[in-house]
Amino acid sequence: MKRFQLLIPVFLMIGLAGALAFAQVDFSKEHNGLLRHVVCFSFKDDAAPADIQKVVDAFADLPNKIPSIVSFECGTNVSPEGLTKGFTHCFVLTFKTAKDRDAYLPHPDHKAFGKVLGPVMKDVFVIDYWTK
Protein backbone atom coordinates (compact mmCIF):
# COMPACT_ATOMS: atom_id res chain seq x y z
CA MET A 1 0.00 0.00 0.00
CA LYS A 2 2.81 2.37 0.94
CA ARG A 3 4.57 1.60 -2.35
CA PHE A 4 1.31 2.51 -4.15
CA GLN A 5 1.13 5.81 -2.24
CA LEU A 6 4.67 6.61 -3.38
CA LEU A 7 3.60 6.06 -6.97
CA ILE A 8 0.72 8.56 -6.73
CA PRO A 9 2.87 11.59 -7.70
CA VAL A 10 4.20 9.57 -10.68
CA PHE A 11 0.64 8.80 -11.84
CA LEU A 12 -0.26 12.48 -11.35
CA MET A 13 2.69 13.58 -13.47
CA ILE A 14 1.85 11.09 -16.22
CA GLY A 15 -1.77 12.29 -16.16
CA LEU A 16 -0.68 15.94 -16.27
CA ALA A 17 1.67 15.29 -19.19
CA GLY A 18 -1.12 13.53 -21.07
CA ALA A 19 -3.55 16.39 -20.40
CA LEU A 20 -0.96 18.93 -21.62
CA ALA A 21 -0.36 16.91 -24.78
CA PHE A 22 -4.07 16.96 -25.55
CA ALA A 23 -4.40 20.66 -24.66
CA GLN A 24 -1.49 21.56 -26.94
CA VAL A 25 -2.30 24.05 -29.68
CA ASP A 26 -2.50 22.50 -33.14
CA PHE A 27 0.33 24.42 -34.75
CA SER A 28 -0.63 23.13 -38.19
CA LYS A 29 -3.56 25.55 -37.90
CA GLU A 30 -2.01 28.90 -37.02
CA HIS A 31 -5.17 30.88 -37.43
CA ASN A 32 -8.82 30.78 -36.42
CA GLY A 33 -9.95 31.84 -39.88
CA LEU A 34 -9.72 30.30 -43.32
CA LEU A 35 -7.00 30.99 -45.85
CA ARG A 36 -8.39 32.41 -49.10
CA HIS A 37 -6.20 31.99 -52.17
CA VAL A 38 -7.42 34.40 -54.87
CA VAL A 39 -6.08 33.74 -58.38
CA CYS A 40 -6.89 35.79 -61.48
CA PHE A 41 -5.85 35.03 -65.05
CA SER A 42 -5.81 36.88 -68.31
CA PHE A 43 -5.42 34.85 -71.49
CA LYS A 44 -3.48 35.43 -74.68
CA ASP A 45 -5.45 37.23 -77.38
CA ASP A 46 -5.17 34.22 -79.70
CA ALA A 47 -6.15 31.67 -77.01
CA ALA A 48 -9.00 29.49 -78.27
CA PRO A 49 -12.14 29.61 -76.10
CA ALA A 50 -12.02 25.79 -75.94
CA ASP A 51 -8.48 25.94 -74.51
CA ILE A 52 -9.52 28.55 -71.93
CA GLN A 53 -12.41 26.27 -70.95
CA LYS A 54 -9.91 23.41 -70.54
CA VAL A 55 -8.00 25.59 -68.05
CA VAL A 56 -11.19 26.38 -66.10
CA ASP A 57 -12.20 22.71 -66.05
CA ALA A 58 -8.74 21.52 -65.02
CA PHE A 59 -8.59 24.10 -62.20
CA ALA A 60 -12.11 23.20 -61.04
CA ASP A 61 -11.05 19.54 -60.94
CA LEU A 62 -8.17 20.17 -58.51
CA PRO A 63 -10.35 19.98 -55.33
CA ASN A 64 -11.23 16.41 -56.41
CA LYS A 65 -7.52 15.58 -56.48
CA ILE A 66 -6.27 17.72 -53.57
CA PRO A 67 -8.69 17.37 -50.61
CA SER A 68 -6.98 20.15 -48.62
CA ILE A 69 -8.78 22.59 -50.99
CA VAL A 70 -11.86 22.86 -48.78
CA SER A 71 -13.77 25.12 -51.15
CA PHE A 72 -13.43 26.33 -54.72
CA GLU A 73 -15.18 29.11 -56.62
CA CYS A 74 -14.59 30.53 -60.06
CA GLY A 75 -16.21 32.90 -62.47
CA THR A 76 -15.60 35.36 -65.26
CA ASN A 77 -15.54 39.09 -64.68
CA VAL A 78 -18.88 40.92 -64.60
CA SER A 79 -17.66 44.16 -62.99
CA PRO A 80 -18.86 47.31 -64.76
CA GLU A 81 -16.05 49.40 -63.18
CA GLY A 82 -13.24 48.69 -65.66
CA LEU A 83 -10.64 48.12 -62.93
CA THR A 84 -9.68 44.52 -63.76
CA LYS A 85 -6.21 45.32 -65.19
CA GLY A 86 -7.10 43.01 -68.07
CA PHE A 87 -7.84 39.97 -65.88
CA THR A 88 -10.93 38.07 -66.97
CA HIS A 89 -11.14 34.97 -64.76
CA CYS A 90 -11.20 34.76 -60.97
CA PHE A 91 -10.70 31.62 -58.86
CA VAL A 92 -10.93 31.52 -55.06
CA LEU A 93 -9.56 28.45 -53.29
CA THR A 94 -9.89 28.02 -49.53
CA PHE A 95 -7.49 26.19 -47.23
CA LYS A 96 -7.68 25.61 -43.49
CA THR A 97 -3.96 26.10 -42.85
CA ALA A 98 -0.93 27.77 -44.42
CA LYS A 99 0.66 24.30 -44.40
CA ASP A 100 -2.13 23.05 -46.70
CA ARG A 101 -1.63 26.01 -49.06
CA ASP A 102 2.15 25.48 -48.99
CA ALA A 103 1.67 21.78 -49.85
CA TYR A 104 -0.76 22.67 -52.65
CA LEU A 105 1.61 25.04 -54.47
CA PRO A 106 4.20 22.40 -55.50
CA HIS A 107 1.63 19.53 -55.58
CA PRO A 108 2.06 17.30 -58.69
CA ASP A 109 -1.61 17.82 -59.68
CA HIS A 110 -1.19 21.59 -59.37
CA LYS A 111 1.95 21.36 -61.51
CA ALA A 112 0.04 19.29 -64.10
CA PHE A 113 -2.65 22.00 -64.16
CA GLY A 114 0.12 24.53 -64.85
CA LYS A 115 0.92 22.65 -68.06
CA VAL A 116 -2.68 23.12 -69.27
CA LEU A 117 -2.58 26.79 -68.27
CA GLY A 118 0.89 27.77 -69.49
CA PRO A 119 0.36 27.83 -73.27
CA VAL A 120 -2.70 30.14 -73.12
CA MET A 121 -2.06 32.32 -70.04
CA LYS A 122 -1.09 35.97 -70.54
CA ASP A 123 -0.85 37.13 -66.92
CA VAL A 124 -1.59 35.96 -63.37
CA PHE A 125 -2.45 37.79 -60.17
CA VAL A 126 -2.47 36.03 -56.78
CA ILE A 127 -3.35 37.36 -53.35
CA ASP A 128 -3.94 35.26 -50.22
CA TYR A 129 -5.56 36.46 -47.00
CA TRP A 130 -6.91 35.05 -43.77
CA THR A 131 -10.59 35.47 -42.98
CA LYS A 132 -11.32 36.78 -39.48
From candidates 6, 23, 25, 83, binder to its own copies by CB under 8 A: 83
116 lies in the binding site for its own copies (CB under 8 A): no
Alpha-carbon gap, residue 73 to 57, rounded angstroms:
12
Distance of CA 14 to the CA centre of its chain: 38
Q: How close are the terminal C-alpha atoms of the chain, in Å? A: 55
Hey, is 74 helix, strand or coil? strand
Give the interface segment with its own copies, choosing from 15-23, 50-58, 75-83, 112-120 (CB under 8 A).
Answer: 75-83
15 versus 86: smaller Cβ distance to its own copies:
86
**Cα–Cα distance for residue pair 98/27, rounded to 1 Å:** 10
Residue 43's φ and ψ, nearest 5 degrees, are -120, 155
Query: Considering only 4-12, 15-23, 28-36, 61-69, which stretch makes contact with its own copies by CB under 8 A?
Result: 28-36
Considering the rule CB under 8 A, would residue 57 count as an interface residue with its own copies?
no
**Where along the sequence are the contacts to its own copies (CB under 8 A)?**
33, 35-38, 40, 73-81, 83-85, 87, 90, 92, 98, 102, 105, 124-132
